[in-house]
Amino acid sequence: MSANLIVSPGMGALEASLPEERIRACEGEVSSTRWLLVSIQIFALIAYGTALAFLIKTTVGTLVLFSLLAPVLVLITVVTLVAVGIYEIRRQHGVSGFEVYNTGQIIFRQGELGDCAYFIQSGEVEVIQHENGSENVIAKLSEGEYFGEKALIRPEPRSATTRAVTQTRVAVIRKGSLFTMVIVASSGVPRQGRRKPQPMNW
């Protein structure tokens, strides 16, 4: 296993295969979204509280809180919800982002459950199949090619391990984003270096 990977007790095989920066990024994303949603729910509760206080006893104080503070809180809540919703949709259905793997780093392992495909923007990747304890390199992929696309179609384990041969930059494409994949494939690679994608048997 690469020295760049984080491994902790209880960590799943998929997580163990992810590079450190990707795990940190994912944890950061989940955490920030989660706390945002908790915050806006507390805002909503405060807004409800001001409304109830106004209904129970109408004074200048409760009126000001309800008519000035509550709309601000509700506005923040709605805007945040819309932003988080758009962000989540993009995260789940669009290009998740770009990742860079160092030489020798595992991108995913044979047997893992996959949830995304990879489009090579630069660098080289080798596809390795493990059979009876031996390691067979069955393909080498480079700029303009993609791999792991079966995970977008069928929930099957990865049929091979992929490893970066050189420093490799990939676009990560999640389920339901074949359209996005086409866009990335047609625009993300310099025309001269583009190769016709080859169908994979793994």
Partner 1 sequence: MSIAQTLVLFPGIVRAQDTSRFDPVEHYGARFLTGLIVAGALLVIYSLLRYRGNTSGIASWAVLILGAAIIPLVVSSAGGVLVMERSQRVELCNSCHLAMKPYVDDMKNPKSQSLAAIHYANRYIADNQCYVCHTAYGMFGTLQAKKQGLSDVYRYYTHGFTLPIKMSHPYSNNDCLKCHSGSAKFLATHKRDREAMLADEVSCMQCHEDDNPPHNVGTN
* Residues at the site binding partner 1, with contacts judged by CB under 8 A: 30, 33-38, 40-41, 43-45, 47-48, 51-52, 54-61, 63-64, 66-67, 70-71, 73-74, 77-78, 81, 84-85, 88
Task: Name residue, tokens 């160092």.
Answer: 102
Rounded least distance, CB 184 to partner 1, Å: 26
Residue 45: CA atoms inside 13 Å, Cβ hemisphere, count?
A: 6
Rounded least distance, CB 39 to partner 1, Å: 9
Question: Which residues pair with residue 130 across a beta bridge?
Answer: 135
193: its two tokens = 């270096």
- What is the rounded distance in angstroms from the CA atom of residue 123 to the CA atom of residue 140? 11
CA distances from 73 to 51, 57, 91 (A): 12, 21, 26
- What is the rounded distance in angstroms from the CA atom of residue 202 to the CA atom of residue 197? 14
* CB nearer partner 1, residue 87 or residue 202: 87
Rounded least distance, CB 155 to partner 1, Å: 17
Task: Name residue, tokens 């791999």.
Answer: 147
* CB nearer partner 1, residue 47 or residue 172: 47
Rounded least distance, CB 25 to partner 1, Å: 18
* CB nearer partner 1, residue 76 or residue 139: 76
* CB nearer partner 1, residue 79 or residue 153: 79
Rounded least distance, CB 43 to partner 1, Å: 8
Q: Is 18 exposed, middle or buried (0-12, 13-18, 19+ CB in 10 A)?
A: buried
Nearest C-alpha neighbor of 101 from the set 192, 162, 47, 42: 162
Rounded least distance, CB 77 to partner 1, Å: 5
* CB nearer partner 1, residue 54 or residue 108: 54
CB 47 within 8 A of CB 67: no
* CB nearer partner 1, residue 64 or residue 153: 64
